[in-house]
């Protein structure tokens, strides 16, 4: 009793720290707003439903917001639902979120933004300490009627980052989408777009499925489009994705993409819409760590362009069941590209 009283008094006297329980859309908005003047620490429940009546940006441009749980997370399996919520953390601000989070969008709604669920600006950090799931979030690139013919592109169906985006639990992206409209081609990064200054860490792997970039003329990296750094430290899956090229992953020049700690990867049912490279288009540095299995990906499954380095791990396999449309090699390697393929890698149906 004494200890409890003492600790809550202690918290009250720490300057710049606010405490409260976040239960509603307004509570969450208020916590984000308070970061304009101070660091903020609040509690949130793993069974909370934070539902905004309309699509709402939760924006922070300074300080740190920490959302803790009072529950014992080692025995709780719930997650905080965020409905109609987009997080925008810019200008060096930092968000640390302890509970598992489930972002739920609306299949009928397409928002005209970069990063339909989370936007992280240069120098800023968004860190989820547990699982993150984002589902049914879609972006579009609609021009308003008065604008000129300038090409107008939005990237990152679910997440856009030029800062640090980190998920310590499992990261799951389902039905993220980018919709092109009229003369504006769709942007890149169906689930995740990483800009040149951006970096992403998925500490327990990532699963991306049922994600599409639609309409002609653009849209690379149906799962992840990377111009910065991506590190993945757990087994991962990329399934049922489509894009112009790099249906699962597009890794740009000077970008680095590393699977680490022996993490395996599974790629299935990938289609490149009107270009090349159904699992991976690599212009930079790309390294697998554990075995990789490619099933029913269009040929070429991997495209390694001039000057790129691609390292495929032992015991990986390329399997094609629909033999009719195989028109080429599993891996397309440009003259000056480095691709390492261990002898234990197998090719079935190519």
Ligand X SMILES: *[C@@H]1O[C@H](CO)[C@@H](O)[C@H](O)[C@H]1NC(C)=O
Cis geometry, peptide bond prior to residue 300 (ω within 30 degrees of 0): yes
Shortest distance, position 112 Cβ to ligand X, whole Å: 6
Cis geometry, peptide bond prior to residue 144 (ω within 30 degrees of 0): no
- 134 vs 312, beta carbon nearer ligand X: 134
Q: List Cβ<8 Å contacts ≥24 apart for 146-153.
A: 149/183, 151/183, 151/184, 151/185, 152/184, 153/184, 153/185, 153/186, 153/187, 153/218
- 55 vs 347, beta carbon nearer ligand X: 55
Distance CA 257, CA 289 (A): 11
- 45 vs 57, beta carbon nearer ligand X: 57
- Stated as kind and residue range, the H or E segment containing 26 is helix 25-34
Shortest distance, position 127 Cβ to ligand X, whole Å: 20
Distance CA 287, CA 290 (A): 10
The residue whose two tokens read 């917001």 is 65
- 198 vs 290, beta carbon nearer ligand X: 198
- 156 vs 277, beta carbon nearer ligand X: 156
Distance CA 144, CA 345 (A): 50
Distance CA 139, CA 343 (A): 43
Shortest distance, position 145 Cβ to ligand X, whole Å: 16
In three-state secondary structure terms, 269 is: strand
Shortest distance, position 141 Cβ to ligand X, whole Å: 12
At a CB cut-off of 8 Å and minimum separation 6, what does 208 contact?
A: 172, 173, 174, 176, 190, 191, 192, 223, 224, 237, 238, 239, 241, 248
- 5 vs 150, beta carbon nearer ligand X: 150
Shortest distance, position 252 Cβ to ligand X, whole Å: 23
Residues, the chain, total? 350
* Residue numbers at the binding site for ligand X (CB under 6 A): 55, 57, 88, 113
Shortest distance, position 174 Cβ to ligand X, whole Å: 23
Shortest distance, position 97 Cβ to ligand X, whole Å: 19
Residue at shortest CB range from ligand X: 57
- 50 vs 281, beta carbon nearer ligand X: 50
Q: Cα 136–138–143 angle (5° rounding)?
A: 165
């Amino acid at each position: 009793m004494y200890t409890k009283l003492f600790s809550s008094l202690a918290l009250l006297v720490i300057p710049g720290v606010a405490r409260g329980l976040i239960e509603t859309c307004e509570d969450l908005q208020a916590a984000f707003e308070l970061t304009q003047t101070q660091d903020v620490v609040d509690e949130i429940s793993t069974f909370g439903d934070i539902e905004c009546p309309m699509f709402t940006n939760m924006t922070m441009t300074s300080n740190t917001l920490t959302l803790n749980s009072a529950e014992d997370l080692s025995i709780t399996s719930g997650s905080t639902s965020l409905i109609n919520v987009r997080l925008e953390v810019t200008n060096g601000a930092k968000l640390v979120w302890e509970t598992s989070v489930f972002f739920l969008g609306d299949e009928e709604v397409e928002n005209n933004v970069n990063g339909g669920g989370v936007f992280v600006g240069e120098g800023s950090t968004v860190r989820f300490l547990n699982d993150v799931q984002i589902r049914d979030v879609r972006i579009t690139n609609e021009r308003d009627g008065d604008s000129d013919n300038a090409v107008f592109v939005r990237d990152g169906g679910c997440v856009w980052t030029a800062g640090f985006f980190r998920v310590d639990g499992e990261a799951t992206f389902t039905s993220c989408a980018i919709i092109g409209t009229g003369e504006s081609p769709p942007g890149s990064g169906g689930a995740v777009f990483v800009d040149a200054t951006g970096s992403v860490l998925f500490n327990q792997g990532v699963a991306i499925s049922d994600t599409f970039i639609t309409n002609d003329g653009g849209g690379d990296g149906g799962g992840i489009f990377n111009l910065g750094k991506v590190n993945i430290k757990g087994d991962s899956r990329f399934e049922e994705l489509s894009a112009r090229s790099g249906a699962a992953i597009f890794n740009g020049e000077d970008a680095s993409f590393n699977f680490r700690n022996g993490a395996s990867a599974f790629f299935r049912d990938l289609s490149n819409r009107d270009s090349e490279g159904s699992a991976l288009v690599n212009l930079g540095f790309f390294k697998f760590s554990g075995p990789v299995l490619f099933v029913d990906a269009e040929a070429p499954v991997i495209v390694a362009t001039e000057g790129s380095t691609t390292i495929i791990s032992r015991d990986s396999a390329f399997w094609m069941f629909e033999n009719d449309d195989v028109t080429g090699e599993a891996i397309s390697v440009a003259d000056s590209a480095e691709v390492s393929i261990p002898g234990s890698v197998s090719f079935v149906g190519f």
